[in-house]
């Protein structure tokens, strides 16, 4: 009786995988040599799998499709992790270079609606190289044609059957998406501007492939172009892969564009709600630093000239983030200015009136605040705080916190009242007022944060102590060496410095 021999795996399943591309486990092969064959050279023999059984061909094709989907999944996963427009453009350039088999590239963000922002990112190209490429006229065969030839998506023009189009996606006119532009050989391509050939020779590229960053729904956002060192162009499979990736990348860029525009709008509103400039009052020099988060917090500051050469200084924070917190902050700051003009010599009365207003108009919101009535000529300060961190005095002989009484934030008690504190800064000393965001952005415990703040203020170089702006900058650099990450949600940071002469 004959024994059964083990059956090996099909030949197609044992086929070797292509090498990795640009560090990505991609199955897209390296770009083939697309130059014309030499005269007299016989054509290449047909592929070895041409005579393979249909089942093996189907297995190979399925394996190739699965590998392509895996590659696209890896690339899109990397793209979706980007949180900024520039970061996303750089990722698109790197992934696109791997898919089309190029080494260098350029991405241009230029939304068709003209509302910005605009940006140009290069891969393997210096800043001067990007400027040189941008001198190429937007003519036939140039990737600039993609930027000029695609309108933005807009409302559908009413026709005989749509005199009253229904609101929603059906009333939006899809924009026509242009086809990619492939230039196989810059030297022989017809219709190119002479400047295009000149730039290609100077930068050392011989071919290019331009892809529109556009969809029918989003309209045109920009374009990406990759450059080959030798005459070449992506084959049909590569075109298909980069087309799929480009559509996904455009949708991701459109989302990031909306977030960036919303962030800019919030930042603009926040800046308009805060003082446009600090007042000039004899005997004191002022400086302020305001760092805003991506959602826009409710931290604020104010410096208000008062009668008889006095000065009102205030910092505070409203609970919450976003437009509602900004609106509440604006109302609270405007009210405090009015109370400061009427009874600024009594900081307790100012904060008591502010607490009553907050409790009556916005019972679901709380706030912290610190108001100081300063007389620079006498170097005298009277201040009161509601749930706020104490000021810090920085001078040649001392760096210490002002002892203030503990009190609850505004809106937390039925009736707020706390005693005021009087302070007499010496000539040359700087008083730092700050919001809780400066403490919480460090990520440390409260006691450690206060110790770090005091150490940062004490380490201000002697040469910088006469400039309140330099003092504020040193403290911020010491506590937040990497700055305020705009992609991380959190409170704003306000640091107001007053140096008494």
pLDDT, tens digit (0-9, with 9 covering 90-100), for 300-323: 899 999 999 999 999 999 887 777
Least confident of 35-49, 186-200, 423-437, 473-487: 35-49
286 beta partners: 498
- CB contact at 8 A, 334 and 354: no
Which residue has 């709380």 as its token pair? 366
For the four alpha carbons of 11, 13, 14 and 20, in that order, the dihedral sign comes to: positive
Q: Model confidence at 492, in pLDDT bands (50, 70, 90)?
A: confident
Percentage of the chain modeled with pLDDT above 70? 79
238 CB-near residues (< 8 Å, 6+ apart): 28, 31, 99, 100, 101
Q: What is the mean pLDDT of the chain?
A: 81
CA distances from 463 to 396, 427, 477 (A): 11, 16, 16
pLDDT digits 0-9 by tens, 185-205:
999 988 888 999 999 999 999
CA distances from 4 to 13, 14, 254, 424 (A): 22, 22, 61, 101
- CB contact at 8 A, 200 and 235: no
- CB contact at 8 A, 337 and 369: no
Pairing of the two strands 284-291 and 493-500: antiparallel
Q: pLDDT value at position 440?
A: 85
Q: DSSP class of residue 420?
A: -
Q: What is the DSSP string of 388-401?
A: -PPPEEE-SS-EEE
Q: pLDDT value at position 129?
A: 93
pLDDT digits 0-9 by tens, 333-385:
999 999 999 988 999 999 999 988 888 888 888 899 999 999 999 999 999 99
Q: Model confidence at 46, in pLDDT bands (50, 70, 90)?
A: low
Q: pLDDT value at position 295?
A: 64
* Cα 23–Cα 24–Cα 28 angle in degrees, nearest 5: 115
What b/e readout covers 163-201, taking b as 16+ CB neighbours within 10 angstroms? eebeeeeeebeebebbebbbbbbbeebeebbeebeebbe
Residue 213 has pLDDT above 90, yes or no: yes
Beta-strand ranges (E) seen in 366-489 are 367-375, 380-386, 392-394, 399-401, 421-423, 430-434
Write down all domains in the chain, each with its CATH number in brackets.
59-152+174-265 (3.30.450.40), 275-500 (3.60.40.10)
367 beta partners: 318, 410
Which residue has 């392509």 as its token pair? 68
Q: pLDDT value at position 158?
A: 40
Residue 5 has pLDDT above 80, yes or no: no
**How many whole angstroms separate alpha carbon 85 and alpha carbon 93?**
12
């Amino acid at each position: 009786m004959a024994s059964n021999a083990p059956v090996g795996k099909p030949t197609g399943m044992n086929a070797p995988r292509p090498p990795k591309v640009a560090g990505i486990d991609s199955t897209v092969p390296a770009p083939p040599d697309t130059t014309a064959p030499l005269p007299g050279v016989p054509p290449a023999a047909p592929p070895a799998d041409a005579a393979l059984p249909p089942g093996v061909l189907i297995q190979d094709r399925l394996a190739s499709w699965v590998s392509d989907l895996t590659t696209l999944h890896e690339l899109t996963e990397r793209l979706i992790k980007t949180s900024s427009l520039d970061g996303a453009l750089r990722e698109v350039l790197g992934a696109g270079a791997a898919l089309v088999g190029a080494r260098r590239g350029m991405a241009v963000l230029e939304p068709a609606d003209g509302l910005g922002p605009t940006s140009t990112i290069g891969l393997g190209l210096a800043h001067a190289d990007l400027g040189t490429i941008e001198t190429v006229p937007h003519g036939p065969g140039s990737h600039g044609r993609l930027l000029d030839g695609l309108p933005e998506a807009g409302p559908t023009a009413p026709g005989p059957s749509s005199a009253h189009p229904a609101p929603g996606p059906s009333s939006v006119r899809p924009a026509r998406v242009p086809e990619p532009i492939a230039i196989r050989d810059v030297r022989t391509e017809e219709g190119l501007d002479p400047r295009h050939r000149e730039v290609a020779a100077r930068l050392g590229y011989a071919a290019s492939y331009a892809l529109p960053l556009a969809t029918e729904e989003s309209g045109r956002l920009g374009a990406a172009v990759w450059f080959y060192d030798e005459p070449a162009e992506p084959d049909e499979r590569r075109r298909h892969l980069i087309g799929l990736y480009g559509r996904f990348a455009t949708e991701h860029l459109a989302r990031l564009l909306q977030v960036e525009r919303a962030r800019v709008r919030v930042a603009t509103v926040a800046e308009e709600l805060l003082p446009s400039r600090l007042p000039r009052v004899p005997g004191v020099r002022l400086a302020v630093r305001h760092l805003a988060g991506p959602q826009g917090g409710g931290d604020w500051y104010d410096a208000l000239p008062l009668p008889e050469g006095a000065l009102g200084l205030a910092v505070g924070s409203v609970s919450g983030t976003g437009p509602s917190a900004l609106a509440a902050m604006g109302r609270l700051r405007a009210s405090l200015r009015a109370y400061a003009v009427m009874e600024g010599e009594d900081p307790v009365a100012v904060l008591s009136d502010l607490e009553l207003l907050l409790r009556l108009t916005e019972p679901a919101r709380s706030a912290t605040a610190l108001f100081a009535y300063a007389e620079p000529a006498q170097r005298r300060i009277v201040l009161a705080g509601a749930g706020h961190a104490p000021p810090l005095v920085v001078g040649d002989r001392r760096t210490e916190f002002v002892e203030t009484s503990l009190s609850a934030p505004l809106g937390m008690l039925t009736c707020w009242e706390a005693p005021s504190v009087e302070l007499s800064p010496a000539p040359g000393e700087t008083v730092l007022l700050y919001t809780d965001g400066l403490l919480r952005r460090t990520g440390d415990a409260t006691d450690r944060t206060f110790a770090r703040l005091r150490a940062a203020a004490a380490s201000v170089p002697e040469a910088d102590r006469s400039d309140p702006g330099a003092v504020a900058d040193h403290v911020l650099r010491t506590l937040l060496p990497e700055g305020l990450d705009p992609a991380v949600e959190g409170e704003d940071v306000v640091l107001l410095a007053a140096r008494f002469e």
